[in-house]
């Protein structure tokens, strides 16, 4: 069966078997990719028009108790210069962001015990009180269900937690034994049950990843049916155990973006910073493959370069929220435009 036929079937039935996923991913060609992107754009435009949603990303702490082998802010990286923003700092970021047109704030950080449930709930309710028309998204890793419930009750709307890789043995190759695919996935189901708009996702081209792993990721996405899917290439960081591993490619990342658009037509799909980091036109390529969200950095300038998940991570130029206008111009050059709205998912 040709790639085209599989892409047509995927669009029509919104799913494929594991074998079909493997065939489509491992047998991809530039021609099937072009065809996929055409279909993905049409589906994206049907549901979201030419709008690009923006989220203000606030990286509020780079302390982390975990030791993921790929990540630059892992606890064993003694060269990382650690910082924490105060609640006041975070609110100033939101203030700046609101003025720029952001209506979603994403609070992302390492797994930092200083930010207890009390402190987090207080931060969330302060933001919601001041800007009730905004959505608050949390991305602070694994916590017990009761903690997620507290943040939700405090007003958090959405939660981002990439599953990283569905396959348990592959997960173990990327993380120390204290972490498991099983618990990570359990957290996602908990978040869904509580009522969050949930985002999950994975790195493309992470070490030891196979087409079989990616097929399993697609099957998991179908099952979880999240509101958002964040994927980006793995990019090595020089102070991690994976420093010498090859990074993921633009080519495979945008192919996976197109597949996800056809699998979950109404999902929110960011064209990620990591994609923009490995190619100057990565962001545009992601949008043209079916993505519909960008997440510019709203963190204070002096801490931005400390949230270094991988080498050369973008944090200035068009990555900076202040350059929203030039980002909008870049989107317009390819026929899209940034919109000022909460940008809720239609995949409810």
* Residue numbers at the binding site for ligand SAM (CB under 6 A): 70-71, 108, 110-111, 139-141, 161-162, 164, 203, 232, 234-235, 237, 274, 309-310
CA dihedral 197, 286, 234, 244 (to 10 degrees): -170
Closer to ligand SAM by Cβ: residue 143 or 261: 143
23 vs 200, beta carbon nearer ligand SAM: 200
- Indicate the residue among 110 and 265 with the shorter CB distance to ligand SAM: 110
> CA 290, CA 272: separation in Å to the nearest integer?
12
Distance in Å, CB of 13 to ligand SAM, minimum: 29
Give the whole-angstrom CA distance, residue 85 versus residue 277. 25
What's the min distance (Å) between Cβ of 307 and ligand SAM?
8
CB of 173 to ligand SAM, least distance (A): 14
Residue 213 beta carbon to ligand SAM: minimum distance, rounded to whole angstroms: 14
Q: Reduce the secondary structure of the chain to three states and give it as a string.
A: CCHHHHHHHHHHHCCCCHHHHHHHHHCCCHHHHHHHHHHHHHHHHHHHCCEEEECEEEEEECCCCCCCCCCCCCCCCCCCCCCECCHHHHHHHHHHHHHHCCCEEEEEECCCCCCCHHHHHHHHHHHHHHCCCCEEEEECCCCCHHHHHHHHHCCCCEEECCCECCCHHHHHHHCCCCCCHHHHHHHHHHHHHHCCEEEEEEEECCCCCCHHHHHHHHHHHHHHCCCEEEEEECCCCCCCCCCCCCCCCHHHHHHHHHHHHHHCCCCECECCHHHHHHCCCHHHHHHHCCCCEECCECCCHHHHCCCCCCCCCCCCHHHEHHHHHHHHHHHHHCCCEEECCCCCCCCC
- Whichever of 274 and 295 has its CB closer to ligand SAM, that residue is 274
Residue 142 CB, nearest approach to ligand SAM (Å): 7
* Of residues 135 and 161, the one with the C-beta less far from ligand SAM: 161
Comparison of 3 and 110: residue with beta carbon closer to ligand SAM: 110
Q: Nearest approach, Cβ of 49 to ligand SAM (angstroms)?
A: 29
CB of 21 to ligand SAM, least distance (A): 21
Paired tokens of 71: 């990540």
Nearer to ligand SAM, 203 or 338 (CB): 203
As measured in angstroms, the least distance from the Cβ of 2 to ligand SAM is: 32
The nearest distance, CB 31 to ligand SAM, in angstroms, is 28
Q: By C-beta, is 136 or 338 nearer to ligand SAM?
A: 136
Kindly tell me which of 23 and 273 has the beta carbon lying closer to ligand SAM: 273
């Amino acid at each position: 069966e040709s790639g085209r036929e599989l892409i047509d079937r995927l669009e029509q039935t919104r799913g494929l078997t594991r074998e079909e996923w493997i065939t489509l991913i491992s047998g991809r060609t530039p021609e099937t990719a072009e065809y996929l992107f055409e279909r993905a754009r049409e589906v994206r435009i049907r549901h979201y028009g030419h709008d690009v949603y923006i989220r203000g990303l606030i990286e509020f702490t780079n302390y982390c108790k975990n030791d993921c082998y790929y990540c630059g802010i892992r606890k064993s990286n003694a060269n990382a210069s650690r910082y924490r923003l105060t609640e006041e700092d975070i609110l100033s970021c939101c203030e700046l962001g609101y003025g720029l047109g952001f209506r979603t704030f994403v609070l992302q950080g390492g797994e930092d015990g200083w930010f207890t449930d009390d402190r987090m709930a207080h931060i969330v309710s302060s933001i919601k009180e001041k800007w009730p028309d905004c959505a608050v998204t949390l991305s602070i890793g694994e916590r017990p269900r009761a903690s997620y419930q507290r943040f939700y009750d405090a007003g958090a709307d959405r939660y981002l937690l990439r599953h990283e890789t569905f396959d348990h043995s592959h997960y173990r190759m990327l993380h120390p034994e204290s972490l498991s695919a099983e618990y990570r996935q359990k957290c996602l189901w908990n978040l869904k049950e509580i009522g969050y708009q949930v985002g999950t996702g994975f790195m493309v081209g992470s070490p030891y990843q196979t087409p079989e792993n990616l097929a399993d990721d697609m099957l998991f996405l179908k099952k979880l049916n999240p509101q958002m899917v964040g994927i980006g290439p793995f990019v090595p960081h020089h102070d991690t155990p994976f420093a010498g591993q090859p990074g993921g490619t633009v080519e495979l990342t945008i192919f996976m973006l197109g597949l996800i658009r056809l699998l979950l037509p109404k999902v929110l799909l960011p064209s990620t910073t990591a994609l923009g980091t490995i190619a100057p036109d990565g962001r545009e390529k992601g949008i043209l493959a079916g993505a519909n969200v960008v997440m510019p950095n709203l963190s204070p300038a002096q801490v931005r370069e400390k949230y270094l998940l991988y080498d050369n991570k973008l944090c200035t130029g068009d990555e900076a929220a202040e350059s929203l206008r030039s980002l909008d111009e870049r989107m317009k050059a390819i026929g899209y435009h940034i919109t000022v709205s909460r940008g809720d998912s239609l995949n409810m």
